[in-house]
Structure 1
Amino acid sequence: MSSTVTETDLKQEEIDLSNQEPYKQPEPSRRQAIQKKAYALFLRYWFLLGLAIVIGLAWAFPQVGKANGDIQAQYTVKWGAVIIIFLLSGLGLEVSVMLKTILRWRLHVVVQFINFILLPFLMYGIVRFFITVHADLDMTVYKGWMIALSTSTTVSSNAIMTRNANGNDGAALFNAALGNVLGIFVSPALMTAFQNDPIVFEPGTDRGNPDYLSVLKTLGSTVLAPLVLGQLIRYLFPVRVKYLAAKFKFPIINSLALLCLVWSVFCDGVASDAFTKMTAVDIVAIIFVDIFMYLFGCAACLFVARLPWPLKEEPQWVTRWRFSKKDSVAIMYCGATKTVSMGIPLINVLYSSSSYGVVGVLSLPLLMYHICQLFIGNFQVPLLKRWIEADEEDSCSEATQDVIPLSTIRKRGN
């Protein structure tokens, strides 16, 4: 019998294969779907989970991370963590992007004006209102609010959220760096000005030390010097730095250092029983006012950046002033956010002669503000992304309508 495969056999085999149902990937089980969803939520909100963990650890073991404690946190954390944060921030800032965006002075003025002028003085007005109506709040809360709103914009989270929303991340990075450099000088000046009001900062209570030499020395060595050094290394070895940043996940290391800083501050507060002095009314007031200030800052930034005009025919200066949606997202995140990484060192320097418990309570409004801006900012990202994409789709459709069909051109030619 011949073993040769005939053409008829091959055709029959092809018919049999074609009649077979295609292979289907098995549907994931309910457990796998839940695990996948949980992992996605963890990747998005792991920093918020980390905040809860470090606060819990500080509450359980305050002696470890407090100043003059087991690990001498006043040096290892409050200096080491801040230096790491700003060194990595300098390494992560693209030098060429900084050079291109540095000339966009209008955008920078809007961001820094809202961040350093509008929000601090609005907070000052709110504090004076609470004092006038005799609100049942601790005076330390008022001081903490003034310090929190006098700090500069954050470095990492606003740039990350701007990038995730398809905004102008170059403008966000530059204003984050600019704001933190200006913050070394502006934030202590604002605090000194506010402390001259005896109604908010009552005589005989803890007041910040307006020793500018000490402030500039400490913040310059922990903030400015690492930032400049990071930029210099990035300029000299750009390819190597990008490789190391991707390999070792610089943004994650930056966030972990920030968590260490938060942990140490809470350890100080718990170890000195400072938080037990805070009432439930104080905590609720801090949360609600922080949320209001962040949302107001976002609304103010978008209003100024997009500048609505009620009439159909708008003046030419309004059209020229209005920023793009990508720029507006960068303005919003940079103008409304506040930094813990510079705010806590500022509190430590200004109140170095006070007890660590006072420093812990003063840090609470800033810590809560940071948590609120991270939580709300992450929910704003998809909304802003759709807002930008809708504008891009409109631009594409308009460009498509302007194109003359090829068939029309042929008919005209005939």
Structure 2
Amino acid sequence: MLLRTIEAGLKRVGLDRYLIILILTVALAALVPAKGGFAAVLSNVTFWAVALLFFLYGAKLSLSAALAGLTNWKLQAGCLACTYILFPVLATGLYGVSQAWFPAAVGLGFLYLGCLPSTVQSSIAFTSVAGGNVAGALCAASLSNLIGVVLCPLLLAMVLHTSTNEGDPLGAIWKIAQQILLPFLLGQLLRPLLADFLDRYKQATMIVDRGSILLIVYSAFSAGVVAGIWFRLSWSDITLLVILCVLLLGVVMAIVLTAGKLASMPRGDRLALLFCGSTKSLATGLPMAGILFDAAQVALVVLPLMLFHLIQLSVLAVISQRSVVRPQADKA
């Protein structure tokens, strides 16, 4: 009974079991990092776990529902503009500011965060809980991730005025496509055979989904511990990083909400725009980081993404719950 009370209290501030386990995974990597042969095996397992994850995404995604959402051009254009214009511009500013306080890899992490696609599952879930346009959110999140496979490394190369992956952005795109896009497309092709099965065993697919992310987090942060990069950051550095991530999310949310009202979008579309346009994908960002960046600096590069992900889930979970309580007050 006490555990349920504590869990309910944590949910009210946006912390569920998964987020707690995610934080504990980072702690485990700090205390017992993967080394040597185990790290090599873990890297191979993580690769195939991520491929399986995106195969399941493809098998679960209803293409007809996603295509139907494309007709809502205001929502789709707004989400893409937030994800691939607003975020990169703000992240470039943070990159310049961060150079004065943090190692170069952390600043690079802000740029990387800005170029990533939006979340899929959490943005759709929050939109659904808040009573928003779920079909529109599904389309926006899916389109964002499909475009992001190609656009993210190109955007990163452009804002850095250089190329990624040892001077070969096209090679990086091909590697990302092998691990993410091709399994996704294969899942789409096999959807007619697998859709009913996946609907019956949703819990199993959730385990694969979240388990894959936990594997990536443990692997990336273990590499950082082994390389000794965490000794380069103090608690004051971490605190400042959290403040910058909160500011970034706050500015994006304020602009998104204002833009939705100025565009005279209905409440359901404004909610979808908020939850899709204000989020960045950990599930897509972590595996791509392992391809785009050197293993020794990956943990520092993904640190802004990790912190931003935890903050966005906590804040938006609270907003989605409060949107249910006061739906009439938000109607235009």
Judge same fold: TM > 0.5, yes or no. Answer: yes
In the other structure, the counterpart of 1:374 is: 313
Deviating 4+ runs (over 4 angstroms): 41-44, 389-392
Q: Which sections of structure 1, spanning at least 5 residues, go unmatched?
A: 1-31, 202-206, 308-320, 395-414
AA aligned opposite 1:174: C
C-alpha distance in 1 between matches for 2:192 and 2:69: 16
**What's 2:64 paired with?**
96
- Alpha-carbon distance between aligned partners in 2 of 1:301 and 1:325, rounded to the nearest angstrom: 13
Q: 2:102 aligns with which of 120, 132, 137?
A: 137
Structure 1: distance between partners of 2:326 and 2:319: 11
Identity across aligned pairs (percent)? 24
Give the conservation status (yes or no) of the 8 Å contact 1:214–1:349: no
Deviation at 1:389, TM superposition (A): 4.5
Shift of 1:237: 4.7
Cα shift at 1:115: 0.7
* Structure 2 match to 1:347: 289
Verify: 1:113 aligned to 2:55, yes or no.
Answer: no
Secondary structure at 2:16 match in 1: helix
Instruction: Measure, in 1, the Cα distance between the counterparts of 2:97 and 2:26.
Output: 31
Contact 2:66 2:142 in 1 (8 A): no
Whole-angstrom distance in 2 between the partners of 1:342 and 1:36? 32
State the alpha-carbon separation in 2 of the partners of residues 376 and 391 from structure 1: 18
1:63 equivalent to 2:34? Answer yes
1:115-143 CA distance string (max 9 Å, x none) = 11111112212333455xxx333222211
* Aligned position for 1:211: 168
Q: Identify if the C-alpha distance between structure 1 residues 53 and 35 changes in structure 2 by more than 3 Å, giving closer, same or farther.
A: closer
Bigger helix fraction: 2
Partner of residue 125, structure 1: 93
Report the TM-score when normalising by structure 2: 0.90
The 5 A counterparts of 1:302-321 are 302-307=257-262, 321=263
For 1:240 and 1:324, the matched residues in 2 are separated by 36
User: Would you say 1:338 and 2:292 are equivalent positions?
Assistant: no
- Cα RMSD over matched residues? 2.4
The residue identity in structure 2 corresponding to 1:274 is I
Counterpart residue type for residue 290 of structure 1: C
Which protein, 1 or 2, shows the higher relative CO under an 8 Å CA cutoff with sep ≥ 6? 2
Pick the structure with greater CA Rg.
1
Q: Distance in 2 between matches of 1:237 and 1:345?
A: 25
Deviations 1:178-213 (A, max 9, x none): 11111111111111112228xxx9xxxxx7534133
**Aligned ranges for residues 239-254 of structure 1 at < 5 Å?**
239-245=196-202, 248-254=203-209
Residue 226 of structure 1, aligned match among 183, 196, 221: 183
Which one of the candidate residues 32, 43, 53 is aligned to 1:74? 43
Q: Which runs of 5+ in 2 are unaligned?
A: none
Q: CA separation of 1:282/1:233 partners in 2, compared to 1, >3 Å: closer, same or farther?
A: same
Contact 1:294/1:336, CA 8 A, preserved across alignment: yes
TM-score, normalising length from structure 1? 0.73
Indicate the residue corresponding to 1:51 in structure 2: 22
Distance in 1, Cα, partners of 2:208 & 2:134: 20
